[in-house]
Structure formats: C-alpha cells, structure tokens
C-alpha cells in the first residue's frame, strides 16, 4: 500500500513538473507567431488609435506582427466576449476601456464575467474629456453653465456618442454632482454629436480630448473645462470641472490591456514589461500625448484595482439615471 501511494505521489509530482516545464518553455519562446489585439469597437475611435500606436512598437520589440482586429458591436460586448473565450496562450489581447467596467450594469445579462474571465496586464493611459458648448452659448464658465441650466429648468440638452458610452456617463455624473437637469441626446458616434453642437442644436457635450481639442483651438466650439481632477498638460489654460465649481468631479477615458484568464503568469509578466517599455518609447509617447493621453503603464494588480474602482463609481450613476440597454 505504501509503495503504491509513493508511486502515485511520484506520478502526480512528475505531472506537475511536466506541466510547469511546458508552461515555462512556452513563456520562454513566446511569441513564436503573430499576436492579435482585439479592439471591441469599430476603427477610428480612441481605443483603436491607442491600440495601433502601441501595437506598432510591440511588433518591433517582439519580432512578430501584432495585428489589430476590430470586433465592434453591442457596446463592446462582442469583442470582449471573443477574448474571454479565446485560448489563454498569450496570442490574443483585449484593449478595452470603460465598457469593461460598466457593461455589467447596462445590459440585462452578459455572456462573460468582466473580472473573472480576464487577467489584467496594464493600464495603458488615461485621456480626459473636455466639456464644450456652442460659441452661441451664454455660458463662458462651468458655473455660468450650471446657473444657465438652472434658469432653463431642464430645457437644456447634452449630446453623447450613444447610450451607455463613457461620454454619456460623464454627462450623467455632471448632472448628478452639479444638481442640474438636462436631456440626454444620444448619437451614433461623437462626430455627428459634435456636428449638432456647433450650430447650437444641443447645449453641451463631454467629448474626448483627442476628438474635440482641435475644434476648441480652432474656435469652432468653446471649451469650458477638462473632466480630470488635475489640469491637462496639453491644455493648461482649461480649468478642471472640480476647480470650476463641482468639487470632486473626476472622469477619465482609460485604455487597458487584458488577456484571457488562465494565461500563463510568465507570459503576462513578459507582456506587461514589454508594453511598459513600448509606452516609454519616445515616438509612442509623443503620439499618445498628441491624442491628449497621459501614459500610465500600471502593474497588473493596479489595473485590477482600477477596474473595481470604476465599477463602484459608475454602478450608482447608471442605477440612479435608470440607464438600460436591451441586447
């Protein structure tokens, strides 16, 4: 009996060592072929732009092609689910943003778990939004806008890129914290929303810095403030909403890398180290800063904490505003 038990223990230990050796060998040779980065949105958006900038440098570092695969639809759920179901071999990366934190609260049901089905790699960067109004607006500051909205008693409207988007949620948080009532007008993307803002068909918009800063500088719209807690280095003349009248207001668009759960920790460590190195590469840094992004390059545990904090932040906003998206 003792001999049999010893044999079984030896066999189990051998299997464990073999599995460890196999994973270690895979990590040592990774990547041995092309790596795909899934963007769960259509081409041309901020998520797509950030992914392509980082992917170009990773291609150079890894000596393997890093390709972008856009899998848009259902508020990012189609692409996110595809990565959750992908092989955990290090050859599929998800680049995602606020959708990872909020879709659990926006949709009646998800076919994936945004936390349990993924391993965090790194928070790539943060990008502030800018609160903008038409040039015809009487509001030349955040406080003037708040007073204007109060006088109009809910008659003002703000535009967004669509129901449940980060721009929509930013507007809802502003309403909540400023004590204003405004009507939300969703568009199919930020470009048509901005087109209606310029002539004054809507009264305000919270748009990503990369999309709207050029219009602010060209005088096509009036920028009132940035949505982050501190002023943006690329536009120091713009105050923050927090300092301009809504204390504590802090919203950033954020972009991060996740991989399928059960991906080898050795591969995750290598992927993290190389991505942080890519973010520090001067041409990459310059291109991201041109988009109004602040580079982060966090540790995986810090990204996990960030995701949970974003969930805790947006869940009550979505619930109070009764935002619901039917699949």
The per-residue pLDDT for 211 is 84
- Angle between helix axes 300-321 and 99-106 (nearest 10 degrees) is 30
Q: What is the pLDDT of residue 25?
A: 56
Q: For residue 281, what pLDDT band results from cuts at 50, 70 and 90? A: very high
Query: Which residues face 253 on adjacent strands?
Result: 127
pLDDT of residue 12: 54
Pick the CATH number of 128-226 from 3.40.30.10, 3.90.1580.10, 3.10.50.40, 3.40.190.10: 3.40.190.10
Share of the chain above pLDDT 90, in %: 80
Bridge partners of 224, per DSSP, are none
| Phi, psi for 254 (deg, rounded to 5) | -135, 155
pLDDT digits (tens, 9 = 90+) for 31-52: 999 999 999 988 888 899 999 9
Q: In terms of DSSP H, where are the helices of the chain?
A: 2-29, 46-62, 77-84, 99-106, 142-152, 166-178, 190-197, 209-217, 265-280, 282-290, 300-321
**For 212-261, what is each residue's pLDDT tens digit?**
989 999 999 999 999 999 999 889 999 999 999 999 999 999 999 999 99
Q: Any idea what DSSP says for residue 209?
A: H
> Are 244 and 141 within 8 A, CB to CB?
yes
Residue 26 has pLDDT above 60, yes or no: no
Cα distance between residue 107 and residue 113, in whole Å? 12
> Could you state, in order of their start, the residue ranges of all structural domains in the chain?
11-124+255-321, 128-226
For residue 10, give Cα distances in angstroms to 3, 18, 21. 10, 12, 16
- Burial of 86: CB neighbours in 10 Å, binned 0-12, 13-18, 19+: middle
Asked if the bond preceding 186 is cis, omega within 30° of 0, the reply is no
Instruction: Write out the two tokens for 28.
Output: 């040592």
Q: Beta-carbon neighbour count of residue 34 at 10 Å?
A: 12
Q: Which CATH superfamily is domain 11-124+255-321 in?
A: Bordetella uptake gene, domain 1 (3.40.190.150)
CATH fold match for the domains 11-124+255-321 and 128-226? yes
């Amino acid at each position: 009996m003792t001999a049999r038990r010893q044999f079984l223990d030896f066999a189990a230990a051998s299997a464990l060592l073999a599995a460890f050796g196999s994973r270690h060998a895979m990590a040592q040779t990774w990547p041995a072929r092309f790596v795909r980065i899934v963007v769960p949105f259509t081409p041309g958006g901020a998520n797509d732009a950030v992914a392509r900038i980082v992917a170009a440098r990773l291609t150079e570092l890894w000596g393997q092609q890093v390709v972008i695969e856009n899998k848009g639809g259902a508020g990012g759920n189609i692409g996110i689910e595809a990565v959750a179901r992908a092989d955990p071999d290090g050859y599929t990366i998800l680049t995602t943003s606020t959708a990872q934190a909020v879709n659990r609260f926006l949709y009646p049901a998800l076919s994936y778990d945004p936390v349990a089905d993924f391993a965090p790699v790194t928070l790539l960067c943060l990008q502030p939004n800018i609160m903008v109004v038409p040039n015809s607006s009487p509001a030349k500051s955040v406080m003037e806008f708040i007073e204007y909205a109060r006088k109009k008693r809910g008659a003002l409207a703000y535009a967004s890129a669509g129901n449940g988007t980060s721009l929509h949620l930013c507007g809802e948080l502003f309403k909540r914290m400023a004590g204003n009532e405004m009507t939300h007008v969703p568009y199919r993307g930020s470009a048509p929303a901005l087109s209606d803002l310029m002539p004054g068909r809507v009264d305000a918009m919270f748009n990503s810095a990369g999309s709207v800063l050029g219009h602010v500088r060209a005088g096509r719209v009036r920028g009132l403030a940035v949505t982050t807690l501190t002023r943006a280095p690329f536009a120091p003349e713009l105050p923050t909403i927090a300092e301009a009248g809504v204390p504590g207001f802090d919203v950033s668009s954020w972009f991060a890398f996740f991989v399928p759960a059960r991906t080898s920790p050795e591969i995750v460590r290598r992927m993290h180290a190389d991505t942080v190195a890519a973010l520090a590469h001067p041409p990459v840094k310059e291109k991201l800063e041109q988009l109004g992004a602040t580079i982060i390059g966090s540790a995986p545990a810090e990204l996990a904490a960030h995701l949970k904090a974003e969930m805790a932040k947006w869940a009550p906003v979505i619930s109070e505003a009764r935002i619901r998206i039917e699949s």
